[in-house]
Structures are given as structure tokens and as C-alpha cells.
Chain A
Amino acid sequence: MAKEVIKTEKDDIKTPFKEFVRKFKKQKTALVAMVFILFLVILAFISYKIAPYGINEYDYNAIMQGPSAAHWFGTDEFGRDLFSRVICGTRISLSVGLFSVTIGAVCGTILGLLGGYYGGFLDSAIMRVCDVLFAFPGIILAIAIVAILGSGLGNVVIAVAVFSTPTFARLVRSATLSLKGSVFVQAAKSIGASDARILFQHILPGAIPNIIVQYTMSIGNSILTASSLSFLGMGAQPPTPEWGLLLSNGRNYMMSSVHITLFPGLAIFLTVLAFNLLGDGLRDALDPKLSE
């Protein structure tokens, strides 16, 4: 944020950040979603400590039981407590979502900045690669990458990162293009600021709002994709308590034990919903057009 040089009327100065906070506070659903996400993050850290049962604690006397006081979400075919497994799955899904999108966002941002700023061959090369990546429907690209690298959660992270990269690259590129010609960038150039300084100090901050919105939205989406891949048998492997995998496991017992598919699905749904609602709220709060 710009340093406040003028000391008078300090409270009346509308910095973009203050404006954002003011608007964001009005987004009640987004606030609730943010609190829920914070709760999930805390849960991800402490789930293994607070889980009533171990995630691989077999109990052959309590196989495929429905929800009860002892087992809130019921048990699976080995008598494992589903509630413990679902809350421990929070850590997996959140980290897969955060890691993959962070990698994608960082790579995409750098590519977008470079392409947009330098233009020419570099730009067309980057954009062509993005075109190719965009030419595959999202999950198909992820499946292709997993088919090359082999199944496993680590490879799912790479796959999701690869397909979220071009979105960020395009977003940041167009922001860079429009900021490149702005007066403050010209001024920085004329006093001899280095390219790196111009890119990261002057242009990048202008693209940050868009990146944040895209980042939040992408996390929800990448959690969905990652759990789909696990569901298809290409991501997490048993006995990992990954939500998509738990669900896929439940398909064999669909007729008799609905709870095995119900609860992990609910967990994915609520988590993704929270990120989408937060993304919507951030977008509305950052959108200058919506300031009526």
C-alpha cells in the first residue's frame, strides 16, 4: 500500500484496501464461508489429534454400521470409523487444493508477467503453449498427465497445477498489457527502474486482485478435480482417507450402506462450496463496477 504522506484527515483517505474491506464486510455469505474455511484449516492441523478413532483402526465387530452415537458417520466395511476418516481427509484435500493452485498461480503469474511485458516471440510462445493446454477439457489433461506420471496424490498435484497454470498466465498477461502503458510504469522506467522492479513492484500489484479471485475459485475447482481423480483410482491410494477415494469405496455398498457415500461427498461439497462463495464475495468486493 502507498505510504500516507499527507497526515491530515487520515481516516477519510480511501485506500483501495480499505474500500475492499468495507465492501467485503457486506458480503455476509462470503464471511461465513471464510470462517468455515478457517475452521477447515484448523481441523486440518488438529484432526489426527481430535479424531475419536484411528483412521486405520479396524473393528470387525462394528462393520458397516449406520450413524450412531459411537460412530457419528457410521463405519465402513472394515469397521473403521467414517467420521474420523472424513475429518482426517480434510488435511489431504486442503493441501492438494492449496499446493496445486499455488504452484499453478506462481508459474502462471510469472509466465503472464514475462509474456505481457516483453511481448514478441516469448509472448507468442507462452500463449501458444497455453492454447495447447486449453485445447484439452480440464480433467482430460489431468488424466493424461497422471497416465504419463503414474497414479498417486503427488502426481495429481502436478496435474492440477499444470492445468490451472494457463488460466493465471492469461489473466496476468492481460493485466500486464493494460498496465504496461500506464503513466506510473512509464515514470518508473524513465527514472531507470530495473525490469524486475517494474514487473514485481509496479505491475504485479495491479494484477493481484484478479489473481486472488481466480486463486480462491481455482482451489474449489482443484479440490473437485483431485477428488474426481482419486475417485477414478488415479489419485490417492487405499487406505488413505481421501474423500474421493472414500466415496469410490462406498460404491460397492451403495445398496445397503448409503452413509459411506453420503458423508465424504458432503465434505467435498461443503468445502468446495465455501471456496466458491468466498471467491464470489471477493470478486464482488474487488469489482469497481459494482460500487453503486
Chain B
Amino acid sequence: MLRYLVKRIIEVIPTLILVVTFVFFFVRLIPGDPAQMVAGPQATQEDIEVVREELGLNEPIPTQFVKYVTGLFKGDLGTSLRTKRPVTTEISNRYANTVRLTLLSLAWSSVVGIFLGVWSGRHRSKWQDYMGMTLAVSGISMPSFWIGFMLIIIFAVNLGWFPTTGADTFASLVLPAFTLGTSVAAVVARFTRSSLIEVLKEDYIRTARAKGIKEKVVVWKHAFRNSMISVVTVIGLQFGFLLGGSVVTESVFAFPGLGSLLIESVNYRDYPAIQSLILIFSLHFIVINLLVDILYAVLNPEIKLS
């Protein structure tokens, strides 16, 4: 087990190095002169040089890279061009909001997704199954910004139950979390269903049924736990997609999180901020994938044996 853990962690290192390198070259990939791009079309040569200095682009690439990486280790992500404050400050101001939003979305969508999946799976090819899976396929096909708008129109504008924007209260999290979690709930439901159906075909399920155990117990006690092993993996992976989806959802609700910060930064061509945000999203994604793999190994007895 420990060996597997160490192996997985070591395997992540090259990806991490490549991601950091990619993100470093990111600003340098902008066609033309990035400093001029950042300074704007009306900038004088002097302004451009100032920006070049600010971005650290006036030094040779290897030096820049070393500086960038040492900065990363010190927690220095550069200065935002838009607010002139350290990017770390900008990010930490909003970090908690996005974490709260993604966790709440993940929580409701896993629970709903699993229940819907089990419900469909145990009533395979009956109306419950068709209804559940129609819901699920609709969930993955709806654009999240559209769901967001419809929720705002119904529950915020007409019924006045929730605020349309902000992140101050729990109520203001409800609509964004619902929007963000819909497609995840749908993916989890589809996966739970197929996983449960696979498990229900096993011999030990037939044995349990033959013994006269109630169907409810067979499904929830015998089949459900085994089908969950792979579902947990999918849920974990969806967490990464929630991070990505937060960009759109936060923009719909003007939610002060990392996603909306990314959009603002792109609109202002605030490259140090864009660079750092992309790095942060990706690091979270990598770490979550790693944790999911480890969790899978912990849950799956077959891996322990080998």
C-alpha cells in the first residue's frame, strides 16, 4: 500500500514540472510582443519597457524561469496588472468562496446523483429508469449559464427566495451551487446506474436473492457498496470539473470567486493573474486526481492484494 502511495506521488512529479513549465511559457506564447500587448496600443516605447520590466521579460528566458520557480516556492505569484496588488492577495480574497461553492455543489450533486443512479439501476428498463436517465442526459446537455439564468428568473426575480448575486450568506450560495452541480449530479447518476447494473449481475447477488433477502437489502447492502468503489472515483474526478465549471457559473451570478477572477483577468489582459489562476486550477486538479487514485486503492481490496 505504502509502496503504491509513494509510486503514485512520484509519478505526479513530471506532470507537475511540465504544467509549471507550460504555465511559465504561457505569457511568452502570446503572439507578438507581450509587453506591448499588455501596455496597450497607445503605449509609448517607455511604457512598454516599464511593463517589460514588471513582467520580468527583459531577462534571458532561463533566468526568468528560475526566478519564476523560486517565486512559486516562496508563494510569490507576481503583481496583478489590474489592481497592482500581489496576485496571492487577490486569490486568497476569493479562494474560500470558490471552495465553499464547489464543496456545496459536490455534496448535493453526489447525494442526488447516487440516489438517482441507484433508483434507475434497480428498476432497469422500467419507467423509473427511463425517467431517471432522461433527467440525467438532460442534465449533461444543458448549458450551465442557461440553467443559472432560468434559476435567477424563477427563484430570484419572480419568487424572491434567493439573492441573484454575491457570496455573503448561505442563501446566496444556493442557486450557484445548484447550477454548478447539475451536470455533475447527472454524470454521477449515469455512472452509478451502470456500475450498479454491472454489480447486480454478479453471482453473489444471485445467491443473496436466492436466500430470500429482500431486494432493498440486496441493492443497498450487497450491491451498492461494491458499486461505490468506481463511483467514488468518478465523483472525485468531477471535483476537478467543478473547478472548471465554476468559471461559467461564477460569471452568471457575479460570484466573487476564482472563476470570475479569471474572467476579469482575461478581459483586462492581466497576464500575471491569468497565469497564476491557471496554475492554481491545474494544481488542484492534479492533487485531487492523486487523492482520488489513492482513495480508490484504499477502497478497492483487489489493489491491496496485488
Contacts and interface: CB of A to CB of B under 8 A. Distances in A.
9 pairs of A and B residues whose beta carbons are closest in the complex: A137-B244, A265-B146, A273-B141, A272-B141, A139-B244, A132-B18, A261-B149, A131-B15, A140-B281
A268 B18 contact: no
B278 A144 contact: yes
Interface of A: 128-129, 131-132, 135-140, 143-144, 146-149, 220, 224, 227-228, 231-234, 244, 247-248, 250-251, 254-255, 258, 261-262, 265, 268-269, 272-273, 276-277, 280
A262 B150 CA distance: 8
B60 interface: no
B153 A135 contact: no
A131 B286 CA distance: 10
B274 A140 contact: no
A255 B149 CA distance: 10
22 contacts: A128-B15, A131-B15, A131-B18, A135-B15, A136-B19, A137-B241, A137-B243, A137-B244, A137-B281, A138-B241, A140-B281, A140-B282, A144-B26, A144-B278, A220-B141, A228-B145, A244-B143, A261-B149, A265-B150, A272-B141, A272-B142, A276-B137
A135 B19 contact: yes
Interface in B1-27: 14-15, 18-19, 22, 26
B195 interface: no
B241 A276 contact: no
A260 B282 CA distance: 35
Nearest to B269: A147
B199 interface: no
Contacts of B244: 136-140
Given A132-B15, A147-B266, A137 B240 contact: yes
Contacts of B262: 140, 143
A286 B252 CA distance: 39
Q: Is the interface of A mostly helix, strand, loop or mixed?
A: helix
Given A132-B22, A137-B240, A254 B149 contact: yes
A94 B26 CA distance: 30
Contacts of B286: 135
A129 B245 CA distance: 23
Contacts of A262: 150
A277 B141 CA distance: 10
Given A139-B245, A280-B137, A132 B19 contact: yes
A179 B52 CA distance: 52
Given A148-B30, A273-B141, A276-B141, A136 B281 contact: yes
Interface string B134-155: 0001101111111001101100
Nearest to B198: A289
B146 A269 contact: yes
Contacts of A136: 19, 244, 278, 281-282, 285
B247 interface: yes
B248 interface: yes
B251 A268 contact: no
A232 to B, nearest CB: 6
Given A131-B15, A232-B263, A269 B141 contact: yes
A128 B140 contact: no
A135 B144 CA distance: 22
B150 to A, nearest CB: 7
A282 to B, nearest CB: 14
Contacts of B138: 269, 273
A261 B153 CA distance: 10
Nearest to A224: B143
B29 interface: yes
B141 A128 contact: no
Contacts of A269: 138, 141-143, 146
Given A131-B18, A228-B145, A247-B146, A139 B278 contact: no
A148 B145 CA distance: 24
A132 B23 CA distance: 10
Given A132-B18, A251-B252, A269-B141, 20 more contacts: A136-B285, A137-B240, A137-B243, A137-B285, A138-B244, A139-B244, A140-B262, A147-B266, A220-B141, A224-B143, A228-B144, A231-B248, A233-B267, A247-B149, A251-B149, A262-B150, A265-B145, A268-B142, A272-B142, A277-B137
Given A138-B241, A228-B248, A254 B18 contact: no
